[in-house]
Structures are given as structure tokens and as C-alpha cells.
Amino acid sequence: MRGLESNKTKIRHKIFTEIARVAYEGGDMAHEIERLPYKVVPGEVATYRDSIFLERAVVGERLRLAMGLPLRQFNEHSELSDGVDESTIAEKYYVPPLINIIKFACNKCPEKRVMVTNGCQGCLEHPCLEVCPRKAISMVDRKSVIDQSKCIKCGRCADACSYHAIIRQERPCSAACGMGAIHSDEYGRAEIDQDKCVSCGQCLVNCPFGAISDKGQIFQTILAIKSDTPVYAAIAPAFIGQLGPNMTVERIRGAFKALGFADVVEVAIGADICTLQEAQDFLKEVPAEKPFMATSCCPAWAMMAKKLFPTLAPNISMALTPMVLTGRMIKKDHPGCKVAFIGPCAAKKLEASRRTIRSDVDFVLTFEEVLGMFDAKGIEPEEITDLSPLEEATADGRGFAVSGGVARAVVNAIERMEPGREVKVAYANGLPECKKMLQMAKAGKYNGYLLEGMGCPGGCIAGAGTLQPVTKGAQAVQGGMNAAAKKCILDSDYLGYLPLIEQ
């Protein structure tokens, strides 16, 4: 649960911090990774799982993933450090699968079930029994009992119970997956169908047992920072409020410089450039060349559309994403540098690994991972003295972080470019709602529309690498939009970088 400092988030934070600490201090990672599980989980008595050995085994696999390494196969011997030497380099790309299930950490949650709780009152009416279409419910000792062999999990009994004594349960990771990519293996453990997965990371967020994790590049990013090559941080619009209450917009630049970055650039500037291209494309192509146009900035949404609705793929905007545009802009201004995208999104990690994009963005880290870097360096926001604020982006560019923000920015630009031009908009957030929107588009219900899709419920502020509740994140982004000196992207000072799109 976002905003809650739970045992799961504490362990993740410890792992990210220790990986960063070793990278900054220059330790031998092959040696350290064998020792770190004992530091992350000290003592002799288990706290979270059945045994201290199991806890450390899970931590060990998490450490490997944080280094960008694959999980080990446990039907054959291998060292925790296997492959680490090949990963302690400054240019390691993410290799699929990005999202991984540590099988022995999985609780084997039931996929779906309807069950009667102790709250059953054995009432006279027993509507649960009456509404069951398969007669799976009977009264035993004046309590409702469900015959699971007959139950079809329709949930009518739960809806009918006045006491809410019947509940529906679903495996949390599976319930959060908008692609139906999670099922059970032969041992009842969760398993991801990678052909369906779009790497949104919502399963990672919603697994309460911490059995799901993504790969990281913390170590490699720090190695690059320590080299002679300058590394620039391109920070996503959702950053406001995600790095702690004391990490204000005025302190961001100084804080990242303290980590060793050469400077910080708002990806909202790239969003401004992206908006202009999408506005131009919409005016040119809809409805003359395409029945509708869909935004392209969310990789999970775009991947879902291409997997499930391949015939609609040509309607997705060809505009480069704000991350890529910002990376190109930075590298044009600072030839030979490296760019680290800092954001809320797990799917961005795979986007940056594409061969066509690797030259634009070198590293992708989440806000959660970067917090580990701050702790490893002992950086306290209150002690930051460099208070040069980030103020180059427009309000519309910063609004990309919330659901509806991309479409709003494009509409505002079109209103300035062609006053009086009506732009019909539909937007959806969360993959299930995105699928419904595309089904309607396929049926011709959205001809002439601009469609915005965001894979995470609420938009980027709900990405797998965020830490704040969605409502709090939305409020913080709105504050950043209100503080922006320029509102519409057509007022941006960076539109001269538009030719970068055509390179």
C-alpha cells in the first residue's frame, strides 16, 4: 500500500541502500552480495517468514534483481554471486523479463474463491442459499457452508448477504494485473506469462508478501557517476512529493548534484515537445488519415494496445516519449554525456533498453531506488544549500503525471494553434479501463477523438516506483503546475528542439 512504511517497503529500501553504498564506496560486489543478506536480515530468529534462512534467501534474490541479474534456478547449484562480475559495469541494459516472481517467497494465494466467514449469523432468510445458481450453499448447524466443488465464484451470495459475512478473495497480484498475465504453476505459486506482461509493475506493488520484484540499475548508474563521463538526471513530472516531504522542488537540483549527477533536467520539458508534435499530428491526421489518435507516452498502455488490438496500432501517436525527447535534448547540449531517467515507471526500464533508444537514455531508476542512493550517501534534504529551483517546464508539461494531463495539454495546444477547433477527448487509466476504451474505439465509438491511455490507475503518480498515495501525489503535481511560470507548451523556451523528433 503506497504511503505506508511496511515491512515490505523497509526491506526493499535496505536492499537499494546497500547496493548503492557498495557502489559508492567501491567494494567488491561479488564478495559483498554474499554478505549483504546477513546485514539486511540480522540475527538468528525469523521476523517475517518461517525461518531466517528463507528470509535471507529471498533477500539474496532481491539483491540479484537490484543488480540487474536474473533469478537463480533452484534445481541446480549456483552461487549468489554468479554473474555479478559481468554486471558491475557502467553500461548494462535491462534484459527481459523485467518483472520477476521469487517462487519460494510466494504465499500460493488462491486464484479466486468465495468463502463464508465467522460473521455468518445463520439468519432465517439465508438469501445466499436462495440466489446461488449452482446450489453450492447449504446450511450446516445454522451456518452457511459453500461446496467449493460446485461454486463458480460468481459472488452472488456475497452481494446478497446483509451482514457481509461472505467474501470474495482473489490473488492480489492477479487482481492487479490488467493483462490477465498471472496464473498458478504446478505448485500453486504465481507465475507470469511474459507474452502477456507489459511490465507495468502493478503486481509488484500489490503483492503483500514481497514475492515480486523488478530489475535495477542502481549499481551501474553509480559506477557511471564515478567515472569521468558526466551523468545527467532526467526527472519525470511525477517527482514532486515522491522523494519525501522535505525534498522540495527548490532542493531537487542540489540533492541530485550531491549524489554525483552533473545536473537535473525536468522531463516535463520533453513533455512540452511531445505535446506539440501530437497536436500537430492530430490536426493533420484526424479524421483525414486516421479515425482517431491515441497518445504514446505510457509504454505499458502502448504495449497493451499493440498486443491486444494490433489493428489499432497505426492509430497510436508516433511521437517520441518525453523521456526519449529529454534524453536527446540533454545529449545535444552535452555531447558525450550519459542520461539517467528518474521516474515512477517500471515499464520505462524496458523502453530504454530498446536498441533504437539506448543511445538516448542510458539508465532508468525509480523514485524508490533513488531514495536508497540518498540514504547510502547520507544526504538530508534539510542540509541542501543549493536552492536553484527547477522552473523551465510549463504547467501542461508537468501535468503529464496525472490521468487526463496528456490529453489536456494537447487540447490546450490545439486551441492556441487553431482557435475554435473542437477536440473530443476520452481517457482511461488502469489497463482494464484502457482495454474498454479501445474496445469502444474498435467499434467506431471514438471516431474523431483524441484518446489518452495510462497503464497505472491514476496515471504516472501510481507507477510501480512511486511511494506516495495517489491522491497525495496528484495534489503535489497540481501544486507544481500552479507554480509553473508558463502554462501552455506553446510558451515553452524549448520548442526549438522539435527537430530532434525527426532524427
- The answer to whether the beta carbons of residues 463 and 344 sit under 8 Å apart is yes
pLDDT of residue 501: 57
> What is d(CA 239, CA 316) in angstroms, rounded to the nearest whole number?
26
> What is d(CA 475, CA 455) in angstroms, rounded to the nearest whole number?
20
- In the structure grid, which three cell numbers stand for residue 378, read together? 547520507
Instruction: Give 33's Cβ-side CA count (13 Å radius).
Output: 27
> For residue 432, is the peptide bond before it cis, meaning its omega torsion is within 30 degrees of 0?
no
Contacts for 355 with CB less than 8 Å, ≥ 6 apart: none
Model pTM score: 0.95
pLDDT at 502 over 70: no
pLDDT of residue 317: 94
Residue type, 281: D
Q: Are strands 137-140 and 112-116 parallel, antiparallel or unpaired?
A: unpaired
Sign of the four-CA dihedral 294, 295, 300, 303: positive
- In the structure grid, which three cell numbers stand for residue 457, read together? 490507475
Residue type, 81: S
Average pLDDT of span 251-258: 96
3-state secondary structure 201-212: CHHHHHCCCCCE
Task: Find the DSSP H helices in 202-248.
Answer: 202-206, 218-226
Contacts 24+ apart (CB under 8 A), 201-204: 201/99, 201/345, 201/346, 201/347, 201/463, 201/464, 201/465, 202/176, 202/177, 202/178, 202/431, 202/455, 202/456, 202/457, 202/464, 203/99, 203/173, 203/174, 203/176, 203/177, 204/99, 204/173, 204/346, 204/464
Rg (CA), the chain: 24
> What is d(CA 357, CA 414) in angstroms, rounded to the nearest whole number?
28
Greatest Cα-to-Cα distance within the chain, rounded to the nearest angstrom: 78
Identify the three-state secondary structure at position 11: helix
pLDDT at 503 over 60: no
Give the bridge partners for 429, in sequence order. 454
Instruction: Scan for cell 525469523, then name that residue.
Output: 46
* Digit-coded pLDDT (tens) for 375-395: 999 999 999 998 998 999 999
Q: Pick from 491, 490, 501, 500: which is nearest to 276 by CA?
A: 490
* Digit-coded pLDDT (tens) for 61-102: 999 999 999 999 988 899 999 999 988 877 777 889 999 999
267: enclosing H helix or E strand: helix 267-285
Average pLDDT of span 102-121: 96
Average pLDDT of span 336-345: 97
* Digit-coded pLDDT (tens) for 165-203: 999 999 999 999 999 999 999 999 999 999 999 999 999
Instruction: Scan for cell 526549438, then name that residue.
Output: 496
- The answer to whether the beta carbons of residues 167 and 114 sit under 8 Å apart is yes
- In the structure grid, which three cell numbers stand for residue 195, read together? 507474452
> What is d(CA 101, CA 350) in angstroms, rounded to the nearest whole number?
17
Instruction: Scan for cell 530468529, then name that residue.
Output: 45
3-state secondary structure 15-78: HHHHHHHHHHHCCCHHHHHHHHHHHHCCCCCCCCCCCHHHHHHHHHHHHHHHCCCCCCCCCCCC
pLDDT of residue 86: 86
> For residue 287, is the peptide bond before it cis, meaning its omega torsion is within 30 degrees of 0?
yes
Contacts for 379 with CB less than 8 Å, ≥ 6 apart: 255, 258, 259
412: enclosing H helix or E strand: helix 405-417
* Digit-coded pLDDT (tens) for 36-65: 999 999 999 999 999 999 999 999 999 999
Neighbours of 389 (CB within 10 A): 13
